[in-house]
Amino acid sequence: MIEKITVVGAGNVGATAAQRIAEKALARTVVLVDVIEGVPQGKALDQWESAPIEGFDTHVVGANDYIPAAGSEIVVVTAGIARKPGMSRDDLVRTNADIVKQVSQQIKQHCPKAIVLVVSNPLDVMCWVTKQVTGFPRERVIGMAGVLDTARYRAFLAEALDVSVEDIQAMVLGGHGDTMVPLISYTTVSGIPVTQLLDKPALDKIVERTRNGGAEIVTFLKTGSAYYAPSAAVTEMAEAIVRDKKRILPCAAWVQGEYGISGVYLGVPCKLGRGGLERILEVKLSGDEQAALNKSAAAVQETMAAVSLKP
């Protein structure tokens, strides 16, 4: 347990993440910050009142400014507008970049030693905005993407195979969007290569569904986007850091030559511990997988070019 974790954004993702973090007792205090007056205070109070039932002592508090967040060791950033039907992730970029820029300035001022876990979309570009504005090293600005994408991939595989999700070992790399790269060559079911259990057409269908996992949920909801799985994903990352678990999780990290790619946030296998990003693991990719990863990186860089970080 650490002293304080702040969650920025009291919408569905942020509020659910705050609840999950509190229930796992990852910090003595969870601060929920949002610009809408009364919303973070009301949701935080509601969560705190669930503590006697759920059995956690983490105190959840709400605020409209960052003063209560001062000194937070982890900050989860969920702020931004949600994707609407027919809206691509790239459509979000300019609006959310301005929001995340303002949030990052506050984090730099009030939480200068924090590890920042970014959830806001478009994820990879928002990580870059956060890193540039805060000036934090790459070890302390990490994006939640691959954990969520991998969870979706594993869920769809388990459904197709009629097996437990716990027995699916998999990893999804690349940008968080249409160009993500599920690694079929590293996908197993209790050690059995998935290619021995599903044919190529079936796997291709699952890969495509994984890439469109967020959009599929948006289509159903019509007025919102996913939040149960995203909040679970970022909480898993926070737990790995708080408990120094040395988990190997696919996260968006600033690559500096890994996989032959530099100057972009990209989903890669990351070792997470108390120091944040402790190592990027480079695994051998097939020619097709490397080409797909290069394409994904190029797509992220193209979206980055649309963002201005000038004051």
Q: Which residues pair with 31 in a beta bridge?
A: 6, 61
For β-strands 74-77 and 115-118, DSSP reports them as parallel
Q: Is 176 assigned a catalytic role?
A: yes
Q: Considering 43, 89, 101, 176, which one is annotated as catalytic?
A: 176
Q: How does DSSP assign 89-110, residue by residue?
A: GGGGHHHHHHHHHHHHHHHHHH
Closest by CA to 99, choosing from 116, 83, 121, 114, is 121
Maximum distance among all alpha carbons in the chain? 55
Long-range contacts (CB closer than 8 Å, 24 or more residues apart) made by 255-259: 255/280, 255/297, 256/138, 258/282, 259/285, 259/290, 259/293
Whole-number Å distance between alpha carbons of 22 and 5: 9
Contact 247, 261 (CB under 8 A): no
Q: How far is CA 42 from CA 34, 49, 311, in A?
A: 11, 11, 33
Of the chain, the end-to-end C-alpha distance in Å amounts to 37
Q: How far is CA 219 from CA 212, 216, 226, 228, 307, in A?
A: 10, 5, 10, 16, 27
**Secondary structure class of 201 (helix, strand, coil):** helix
Residues with catalytic roles: 176
